[in-house]
Amino acid sequence: MRALRSAMEWLGVIGRPARVIAVVGDEYDAALFARLHGVLLEMGATATEERFGIGGERFLTENHYRIGRSSVVLATETDRGLSITGDENIVERILHLSGCHPVTNDGAGEDG
């Protein structure tokens, strides 16, 4: 067990914040996307990559950012919505600064 823990520490698995996904709105909400993008830039994030994909009737965009040693992804996906993926503490900070709240189970979200 000690060897496994040492290997996990060496790989950086232990002690890292949990990665989370927060769905915060509809995929077509350009104003909300712009607000989140602005908050990320205010936090010192650097945009590193944009990805686009189409599969049948599904459309996906991913905007990747770097904040220090962490990465954050703003994604829009048909039937899923607009989401933020990243370290839990960073995602919580983005939500707080933007005034956004994750979408509830019934599909009704609050964005501020």
Domains annotated for the chain, with CATH where assigned, are: 18-98 (3.30.160)
- Give the angle 64-69-70 at the CA atoms, nearest 5°: 45
CA dist., res. 99 & res. 17, Å (int):
22
pLDDT of residue 2: 52
Is the per-residue pLDDT at 66 higher than 70?
yes
What's the longest Cα–Cα distance across the chain? 49
Higher pLDDT, 27 or 1: 27
Average pLDDT over residues 21-33: 93
